[in-house]
Structure formats: structure tokens, C-alpha cells
Amino acid sequence: MQSNFKFTQKNALNSLNEIFTFSPSLDFISNSSFKEVSLMFRIDKTNIGVIPIKLDEIKESLLNNTENHLDLIIFINKLGNFNLKVKEPLKNLFQEIFASPCFPSREEFIKVLKAGRLAVASFGQSKSSFKIDEAVRNALRDALKITNITSAKAAFLHIQFNYPLFESDFHRAIEILHEALNEQAPICCSFKLGKSKLLKAFLILTGFNTIEELIRNKNDDILSYIFNLEPESVTNEEQNLNLDLDLPTID
């Protein structure tokens, strides 16, 4: 039984890999100059730094100190779900995010990579039958703790799940992100087969170039209409509905 499952899973992965066109190469950079930067790596001649930080610690001086060394800074909210719920080391996680096979194309990946100088990482997961919808929207909600989503111009989305997804799932994820950003925003997705039964979404919103663009005004009711439509964890409710539809029989 176990061997049959592995065979089926392998075939499903082979089918899934057909939609992924390339895998980026990632090189880690030793960091001894910037105490704020937890991780530095290079992709396609782009130097990237990862900084876990509290919202009120993001200062213009931080950018001035690194502008000659980093092409892209990814902020992780110390009080956000990405930092609180992700247990694996940042190095392993970002290697997985950026070095996994990507969809839809290398050109789209480069567009996202070059979209701006600042980015924010967030995390969401699903607990209901609305797996891809709930995970992506929860990642957007996590991003709202620190950033103005409407100013983001592009996004990386990395998915972990214990079973391969359909191409339609990735198109649905891109559709949700286009609703949150704009229809022309380049989106690049990647996938890694994991062990968790919960579908996990790692989102990196990018395209910001200034602190003013990045930081959310707490008085703004940003994109509430998106979250009004958000599917919740409805497993228990579905069990309690007990609907009996009397449908006509068609001969």
C-alpha cells in the first residue's frame, strides 16, 4: 500500500513539474558588516538581505547603511506570523522559497526580483477546505500588520503542502494576489512538497522603494472588501448544515 502511494505521488509530481519552467540558483553571502541583516544571498546578480524587525524600528537610516551593498531588503515582522510560526532556520526556508522550481516563467521571476528595493515577508496557512484561498488571504492579512498592500507592485508566493497541487490552484492564487495588488502585477509561484497536512503560504510582497510606501497607515481600512469575502475554516459548519436537496430526477 505504501509503495503504491509513493508511485502515485511520484507520478503526480512529474505532472506538476511540467508547469514549472526553471529553478533559480541561489548563493549565500557571508555577512559581517550589518548586524541588523540576519541573512544575505545573491540571485541573478541581485544581492538580497533579510531583516527581522519591529514595525517602529524601520528607519530611513537603515536603508542608507545598506544601499551600497543590498539591491533588495526583505523585512520580516518580528510580531507577525512568519516569524512566530515558522520554526525552520531562515537560511533553509529562503533557500527553499527562492531555489524551488518556479511558475510561470523566468521572465516573470526577474520582473518580481527587480520590482523594487524593499519587500515584506508574511505567512498564512489553511485549516479548511478552501485551502489555497484561505492560506493566501491569511498571508495577506499577516502582511497588513506592517505594510500598505496597495503600494506593492509584485509578489513571490511559495506553497508547502503534503500533496501536489493542480495548475489551477496556482492560477487561483495569482488571481487572489491580483485582486489585492493590481491585475498587471507580476506574480511568481513556487512549490515544495512538505509533510504538513495544512497548506502553508509564504508570501513576499515587493515593489516598494521608500519607507513611506512600505509602512501602513493604521487609520486606513485597506482592502477590507477582500477579507469580507475570505473563506473561513468551515469544516465544523459544513458538518452541521445537513442540507437535503430534493433535486428532480432527469431520465
* 167-204 pLDDT per residue, tens: 899 999 999 999 999 899 999 999 998 888 899 999 99
The edge-to-edge listing of strands for the beta sheet with 187-193 is 27-28, 39-43, 46-53, 72-77, 118-125, 200-208, 154-161, 187-193, 102-103
Q: Is the pLDDT of residue 50 over 50?
A: yes
Instruction: Summarize the confidence of residues 90-117 as an average pLDDT.
Output: 90
Q: How far apart are CA 204 and CA 80, in angstroms?
A: 13
Mean pLDDT over residues 58-79, rounded? 84
Segments making up each domain of the chain, as ranges: 15-231
SS3 call for 111: helix
Tell me what percent of the residues of the chain surpass a pLDDT of 90. Answer: 38
Instruction: Give 121's DSSP letter.
Output: E
pLDDT for position 217: 62
DSSP lists the bridge partners of residue 205 as 120, 155
CATH class of the domain comprising 15-231: alpha beta
47 pLDDT exceeds 80?
yes
